[in-house]
């Protein structure tokens, strides 16, 4: 089946006797045993599994062409499940511009438990040389947040396979509509489903997908059900609902983003546009070889100070100044100030989550804010 059909049907297991077309939300935390003590409904207790969570896991596993998925209460909880499943003392190679929430999770919560090196993943020789005896995982995030750096997934995976190291790819920005990391060699895919999958800025979630059923995946499943950072049935329902329109939304986001990137690229107040769809992007060729389109996220720097940069964000009217991304509404964010003192993001940079409003309105909004800068 094609992605549009999977998105609509694979998260909708409706076997209710009233013939509801849409799967109902199963709020029950517990499930009745049969007379023989078995669980004929396939569920025991909602921390371990729930019909809505199973449907969400099913549709995302199919979209990512994996064999199974595990859903969590946030993207960070999904990332944390992989880190928890590693043996203490394991070494991780992570991108130097990793999403700051996951970076801080590794640096603060897993300090003393896991060893981490933040490495420039665009340099395959450096990645190779960073692998140590205890290296168990390479974490990829491509395109990255907020600098839209692109990592060569095939290149990293071939090194990792040779060195028997697992690879997990954060596919939040690209989504399975534009990029399939498992098909390119990764072992796991991770998502903040809070973003494009939910798609409407109203539900938090995270998900992991595996290429194979392995003992390490079973450990992740144990972390999921025993640590219990699981999404509620309502959150699963909302995410499944969002996923139904994911392919169409992603095409709209990418189309708007392409036009906005060209507009910004030609604007005299703009210093640099970070969008992998632009020919000028340092890793455009790699992006084009592993993505079918370039998504709705971009950043740009202006010729000016931090104060002028923040002023532009404040002047935007259609773009809302807020963190997060991937919703139908366009957002703008001054990343350096949200990332805190150890940020690596330039202070003259704004990140855009390009939404699904009419592109002319978005461009007019950017034009008026930049003209007053």
Count the neighbouring beta carbons within 10 Å of the beta carbon of residue 262.
15
| Sign of the dihedral defined by the CA atoms of residues 236, 335, 276, 308, in that order | positive
Query: What does each C-alpha distance from 326 to 48, 117, 215, 252 come to in angstroms?
Result: 29, 29, 33, 12
Q: Considering the rule CB under 6 A, would residue 171 count as an interface residue with ligand PLP? A: no
Report the C-alpha gap between 210 and 81 in whole angstroms: 13
Interface residue with ligand PLP among 57, 97, 141, 187 (CB under 6 A) is: 141
- Neighbour-count burial of 17, counting CB atoms closer than 10 A to its CB (0-12 exposed, 13-18 middle, 19+ buried): exposed
Residue 221 falls in the annotated catalytic set? no
Residue 311 falls in the annotated catalytic set? no
Beta carbon of residue 283, minimum distance to ligand PLP (angstroms, whole number): 17
Beta carbon of residue 208, minimum distance to ligand PLP (angstroms, whole number): 12
Residue 195 falls in the annotated catalytic set? yes
Q: Considering the rule CB under 6 A, would residue 239 count as an interface residue with ligand PLP? A: no
Binding piece for ligand PLP, criterion CB under 6 A, among 97-105, 177-185, 214-222, 274-282: 97-105
Cβ 151 vs Cβ 179: under 8 Å: no
Q: Which candidate in 195, 211, 221, 335 is catalytic? A: 195
Q: Considering the rule CB under 6 A, would residue 204 count as an interface residue with ligand PLP? A: yes
Interface residue with ligand PLP among 198, 206, 231, 233 (CB under 6 A) is: 206
Beta carbon of residue 175, minimum distance to ligand PLP (angstroms, whole number): 11
Residue 258 falls in the annotated catalytic set? no
Cβ 362 vs Cβ 256: under 8 Å: yes
Report the C-alpha gap between 293 and 253 in whole angstroms: 10
- Using the structure block, give the residue that is written with the tokens 């001054």: 334
Interface residue with ligand PLP among 58, 80, 135, 172 (CB under 6 A) is: 172
Q: Considering the rule CB under 6 A, would residue 102 count as an interface residue with ligand PLP? A: yes
The tokens for 321 are 């100044």
Q: Considering the rule CB under 6 A, would residue 145 count as an interface residue with ligand PLP? A: yes
Give the phi and the psi of residue 96 in degrees, each rounded to 5: -65, -25
* CB of 23 or CB of 330, closer to ligand PLP: 330
Q: Which candidate in 99, 196, 237, 274 is catalytic? A: 99
Considering only residues 21 through 80, tell me which ones interact with ligand PLP, judged by CB under 6 A: 74-76
Q: Considering the rule CB under 6 A, would residue 175 count as an interface residue with ligand PLP? A: no
Interface residue with ligand PLP among 31, 83, 99, 216 (CB under 6 A) is: 99
Report the C-alpha gap between 352 and 83 in whole angstroms: 30
Interface residue with ligand PLP among 101, 284, 310, 357 (CB under 6 A) is: 101
Count the neighbouring beta carbons within 10 Å of the beta carbon of residue 194.
25
Q: How many helices (H) and strands (E) does the chain have?
A: 14, 12
Q: Which residues bind ligand PLP (CB under 6 A)?
A: 74-76, 99, 101-102, 141, 145, 170, 172, 192, 194, 204, 206
Residues annotated as part of the active site: 47, 99, 170, 195
């Amino acid at each position: 089946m094609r992605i549009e059909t999977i998105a609509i049907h694979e998260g909708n297991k409706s076997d209710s006797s009233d013939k509801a077309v849409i799967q109902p939300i199963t709020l029950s935390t517990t499930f009745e045993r049969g007379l023989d003590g078995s669980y004929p409904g396939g569920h025991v207790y909602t921390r371990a599994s729930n019909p809505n969570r199973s449907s969400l896991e099913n549709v995302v596993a199919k979209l990512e062409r994996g064999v199974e998925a595990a859903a969590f209460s946030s993207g960070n909880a999904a990332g944390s499940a992989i880190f928890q499943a590693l043996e203490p003392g394991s070494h991780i190679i992570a991108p130097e511009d990793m999403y700051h929430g996951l970076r801080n999770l590794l640096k603060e919560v897993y300090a003393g438990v896991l060893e981490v090196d933040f490495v420039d993943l665009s340099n395959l020789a450096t990645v190779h040389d960073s692998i140590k005896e205890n290296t168990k995982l390479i974490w990829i995030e491509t395109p990255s947040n907020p600098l839209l750096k692109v990592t060569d997934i095939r290149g990293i995976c071939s090194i990792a396979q040779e060195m028997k190291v697992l690879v997990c790819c954060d596919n939040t920005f690209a989504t399975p509509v534009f990029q399939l990391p498992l098909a390119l060699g990764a072992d796991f895919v991770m998502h903040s489903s809070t973003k494009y999958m939910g798609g409407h800025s109203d539900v938090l979630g995270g998900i992991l997908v595996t290429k194979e059923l392995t003992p390490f995946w079973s450990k992740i499943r144990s972390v999921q059900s025993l640590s219990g950072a699981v999404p509620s049935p309502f959150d699963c329902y909302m995410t499944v609902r969002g996923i139904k329109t994911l392919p169409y939304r992603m095409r709209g986001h990418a189309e708007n983003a392409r036009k906005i990137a060209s507009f910004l690229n030609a604007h005299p107040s703009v210093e640099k546009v970070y969008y992998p769809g632009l020919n000028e992007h340092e890793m455009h060729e790699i992006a084009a070889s592993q993505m079918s389109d370039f998504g709705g996220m971009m950043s740009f720097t202006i010729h000016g100070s931090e104060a002028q940069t923040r002023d532009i964000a404040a002047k935007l009217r259609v773009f809302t100044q807020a963190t997060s991304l991937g919703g139908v509404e366009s957002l703008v964010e001054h990343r350096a100030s949200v990332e805190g003192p150890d940020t690596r993001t330039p202070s003259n940079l704004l990140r855009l989550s390009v939404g699904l409003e009419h592109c002319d309105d978005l461009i007019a909004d950017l034009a008026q804010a930049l003209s007053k800068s």
